[in-house]
Amino acid sequence: MIHQSFLDLDYCARVSGCETCRTFRRAFILEQITGRDVEFLTNPDLQSPVYAVLRIESSGDRLLLTSTPTQKPSFAATVALNHEPRHLANDPTKSGARLTTDFQELRRVVRDCHDNHECSSRYRWSRRNPTWLLEIMDNNQVRLVRGPKSLVDYVVLSYSWGDPAEMPAAEWARIKGAGTKTRNGIPVPERLNPFSAWDLPETMRDAIDITKELGFGYLWVDNVCIPKGTNWDTEASLMHEVYGNAAFTLVASSSSKATDRMIKERLAWSHRSKAVKLRGKWLHNTQMPLDKIRLESPVARRSWTLQEERLSPRVLYWTEQRWYWSCPESQVAELEELGHVRPENKSMERRSPQLFLELCRTGDIEQLHEEWLDIVEAYTPRDLVEPRDRFLAIAGLAVRFYSAKSEAGGSFISEEYLAGLWRDNFARHLAWSVAKGANSRHNLQHIAPSWSWASLPLRMETKTKHAFKPSEHFRFISVVEEKEDSEKAMTGPNFTSHDSLSRGRTMEERGRGVKVVDVEGRFRRFVSDNAKQVSWDAIEWRRGKRVGFDFGAFPGHDLFARHEADGRIIAKDAHSGEIVGQLDYVVPDEALKSPFTPYVPCGGEKEIMCLELGESAMLLLVRNPSWGHQESYRRVGVAISYENRKGFFYGCETRTVRLA
């Protein structure tokens, strides 16, 4: 134990000048991404003892600093142990504490990318500007202007509006009120004429200052530059141009809401740093991985920001204590380089935010599909203020995906966008699963079909990446739609255009409305008619960390069991291996009043049918009672990697199945 609390540690570093405690204090603060995180760290009501735990690793010994040594800590940090002292090339405390950002260093990094990298020439989508831009003027004045005819260097802000449930109504009203109003379809004069940047929320104000400090004269902010009354669907499908053509995207990782400041005093550097030795080893602060910032900042909890990041060739991440720069050729953090983003170790390549754009450029179709699955897995845990924007928030990614395949395969390709999935690899895309059964009360099956991940409630963790070998018996047949809608979608000017962008926009708009498809594959019951239901506890066994099943108490019986808490379901025939499936929804405490139930009711397990997708992947389905006379099925779950029952579909009929 180092100190009784972080506040004691901070006092020791500040008053006694203890270099060890200064190093430990800096480590804790550098781990805090947002200003709110720093406030929690220093909150007198949230204090606990500070421990240091030695970790001996092949990559180097480390001290893990933690608030509790045994259970999940409320805060933690890492300090590296070296044989030699390590000095920062640009130590902000060298000539006294530097509490503000060194924009000179950041300007050098941005200029180096512009002058010496191929990022712009390789990844810039076109020479079109956004429809509206915020022009930065002198005396802290800005104004809304139409994007010039020739491309200008502009910055895009990616930020979190915040959760309206977690802030006063007046604060949320101020954030919403920052939007540009229109009169007769034109922005009001109050925005077209110069106005004070102080009229905007704090995150936007600081983004304006950062943009100006870096020598750029234009900023694009969604709430300001998409005037009210604009066709939101059209603007959403153009996001790959807005972000792809920008000088860079500024990600406000430090802000939990639009009223948070970005430019603040950086407390990690309030004391001068000095090399310090502890029991024969030199201590130095470690670099927070960029992946942690990308995945754990408040911005990462907002659905819209996923495509903002993945469509941006250059990204500047702004955290509470330092900035990080990422482009296709390098990653740099304030004070030190992180190194190139394309190492020989291919498994590390996914750490690059620009991997999606790289695959679109190279036309690696197989890897592009894998990257789409990664996008889905990153997208489903995020939140939306308006659930109806479920598809719009990734529309730009879908358009860019389609355009990449179109350019790789010629003007006309067979690919179709199907409610968040893609036709050319449909079986693979259908094989998503939930980490745990969801509460069915919050399902979005009024927005998307049951077979699409988009029908799940918001903030759901999903799994999309697993070994998959498609079944030779599975085939996508067609989209089922009204004849009038079909003719309108397939014969419009954009669909027949030779411009991949126009076709992509039409394909995305049509795809988000797909509800019913016909497929073909081997089909059978999941649970046999004479199967006996047993409790989950009766068959599950645990040996330390190992978990498995023991069916010894039920010899010669077909059986099934269901885990009520997480939605797992198991089916086993008397003398064959078991199959463990995952239901999308658990049974709610109170049955829904509506006759439509996306979950399998207790006692309805024998109604589950299954459709083979791959050699060890199947959809779990139940008959859809709401489709009239035409037989159709809705998805209720999936079973993946059933190695104990590879011959489950042997000899089963192949039939056409309508999925709704």
**Mean pLDDT of all residues in the chain?**
88
pLDDT > 70? residue 600: yes
The mean pLDDT value for 416-441 works out to: 96
State how far the Cα of 341 lies from the Cα of 351, in Å rounded to an integer.
7
Q: What is the pTM of this model?
A: 0.88
**Residue 71 — pLDDT band, cuts 50, 70, 90?**
low
pLDDT tens digits for range 430-455: 999 999 999 998 899 999 999 999 99
Order of strands across the sheet that contains 62-66: 51-55, 62-66, 76-82, 281-285, 276-278
Q: What pLDDT is recorded for position 411?
A: 56
Q: Which residues contact 657 (CB under 8 A, 6 or more apart)?
A: 518, 519, 520, 521, 523, 611, 621, 633
Q: What is the dihedral sign for C-alpha 576, 464, 433, 292?
A: positive
Q: Are strands 559-562 and 51-55 parallel, antiparallel or unpaired?
A: unpaired
Mean pLDDT is lowest, of 256-265, 517-526, 589-598, 643-652, for 589-598
pLDDT tens digits for range 613-651: 999 999 999 998 765 567 899 999 999 998 888 899 999
The crossing angle, in degrees rounded to 10, of helices 355-362 and 395-409 is: 20
Q: What pLDDT is recorded for position 100?
A: 78
Instruction: Return the SS3 of 161.
Output: coil
Q: Indicate left, alpha or beta for 530 from its phi (over 0: left) and psi (-120 to 50: alpha).
A: alpha
Largest separation between any pair of C-alpha atoms in the chain? 84
3-state percent breakdown (helix, strand, coil) of the chain, nearest 5: 30, 25, 45
Within 10 angstroms of residue 196's Cβ, the number of other Cβ atoms is 11
- What amino acid is encoded at 228 in this protein? K
Nearest to 221, CA basis, from 298, 161, 307: 161
Residues 161/258, Cβ–Cβ less than 8 Å: yes
Within 10 angstroms of residue 600's Cβ, the number of other Cβ atoms is 24
pLDDT tens digits for range 307-350: 999 999 999 999 999 899 999 988 888 876 444 333 333 333 44
Instruction: Return the SS3 of 569.
Output: strand
The mean pLDDT value for 191-208 works out to: 97
Mean pLDDT is lowest, of 54-63, 305-314, 436-445, 592-601, for 592-601
State how far the Cα of 642 lies from the Cα of 487, in Å rounded to an integer.
42
Residues 65/3, Cβ–Cβ less than 8 Å: no
Q: What pLDDT is recorded for position 493?
A: 42
pLDDT tens digits for range 462-516: 999 999 999 999 999 999 986 545 444 444 444 445 566 778 889 999 999 999 9
pLDDT tens digits for range 246-296: 999 999 999 999 999 999 888 888 888 788 888 888 998 888 889 989 989
Q: What pLDDT is recorded for position 416?
A: 95
State how far the Cα of 242 lies from the Cα of 304, in Å rounded to an integer.
13
pLDDT > 90? residue 121: no
Percent of all residues in the chain with a pLDDT value above 70, rounded to a whole number: 90
Instruction: Return the SS3 of 261.
Output: coil
Q: What pLDDT is recorded for position 519?
A: 98
pLDDT > 90? residue 412: no
pLDDT tens digits for range 133-147: 999 999 999 999 999
Enter the tokens of residue 257: 């809401």
Mean pLDDT is lowest, of 106-110, 185-189, 644-648, for 644-648
Instruction: Return the SS3 of 620.
Output: strand
Residues 227/386, Cβ–Cβ less than 8 Å: no
State how far the Cα of 76 lies from the Cα of 186, in Å rounded to an integer.
51
Q: Of the spans 77-91, 266-280, 354-368, which averages the highest pLDDT?
A: 354-368
State how far the Cα of 382 lies from the Cα of 302, in Å rounded to an integer.
5
Nearest to 495, CA basis, from 486, 653, 179, 648: 486
pLDDT > 70? residue 81: yes
Nearest to 130, CA basis, from 252, 257, 216, 234: 234
Q: What pLDDT is recorded for position 547?
A: 85
- What amino acid is encoded at 254 in this protein? S
Q: What pLDDT is recorded for position 120?
A: 75
